[in-house]
Each structure stands twice: as structure tokens, then as C-alpha cells.
Amino acid sequence: MNKIVKILLILVGLAGAVLWFMLPDSDAPVSQATQNGALNAMFWITFILLGIAAAASLIFSIIHLFANPASIKKTIFVVVGFLLVVAIGYVLADGTDVSIPEMADRGIETSETTIKRIGAGINVFFILVIIAVGGMIWGAIRKATK
């Protein structure tokens, strides 16, 4: 199986090298460059490899998760904790977290729910930063006291 994967990776690398030399010149018009078959093929190869990597990562993570019952419990605590942080962030968002006229000038939807979701995202980010910094400080204090 390992040899097959190595052979496939070599073939994909060779295909990428061939497609690289088929790319349009840097002085080509944008409309022509975006319609280039080599560029589109490189994007498709990238998407396929990214999909394979994401699927493999997800599959092996799930296999490892169900192999150990203690990890299932820990994962459930982490997911519930994250959902709790998202809920707190959404509750703390009041819909005035961003400038409505500035968003409208840029062509971004300015409904109240969109602005509340943006505010919730900002709040979740800051809550997670506070948790991360607090965890580092707590770890340093525990290490220093031992």
C-alpha cells in the first residue's frame, strides 16, 4: 500500500510539474489566464488532494476517538464547552458591534441577524483568547508551585 501511495504521489508531482510549464505568461491578460486549462487542472488536483487529506484526517480521528472510551468523554466535554462559548458569545452580541453604514458602503448585507452573528463571532474569538491565555497562566503557575 505504501508503494502505491508513493507512486501516486510521484505521478501527481510530475503532472503538477508539466502543468506548471503550461501556465500562461505573467503578461497574459487576466481573462485569458483564468480560462487556461493548465491552471484549472492544477486547481482540480489541489482540491482533490485537499479532499483526500481532509477525509483521511477525519476518518483516522474518528477511528482513534472510538478506540478509547475515555477520549469520547473528553471530546464530548470539549464540544459542549465550545457550544457553550458560542452561545455566550451570541447572547453577549447586541447587534451594534460593527458600523452599519460602513458595511452598507462595501456592499455587505446589513440585516440585524448578520450583524449579531458578526458580533457573536468577535465575542467567541475574544472568549477563546481569554481562555487560552488563562490556561497558559494557570499552567505556568501550577508548574512554578510544584
Per residue in 119-136, pLDDT tens?
899 999 999 999 999 999
| pLDDT digits 0-9 by tens, 19-58 | 888 877 777 777 777 777 888 888 888 999 899 999 999 9
DSSP annotation of 22: T
Q: Reduced to 3 states, what is the DSSP secondary structure of residue 99?
A: coil
How many Å separate Cα 125 from the centre of its chain? Answer: 14
Indicate the pTM of the whole model: 0.58
Cα 30–Cα 36–Cα 40 angle in degrees, nearest 5: 110
Residue 100: CB atoms within 10 A of its CB come to 14
pLDDT at residue 97 greater than cutoff 70? no
Closest CA relative to residue 85, chosen from 44, 130, 43: 130
Tell me the H-state helices in 23-111: 30-34, 37-67, 69-92, 100-105
Q: d(Cα 84, Cα 123) in Å, to the nearest integer? A: 12
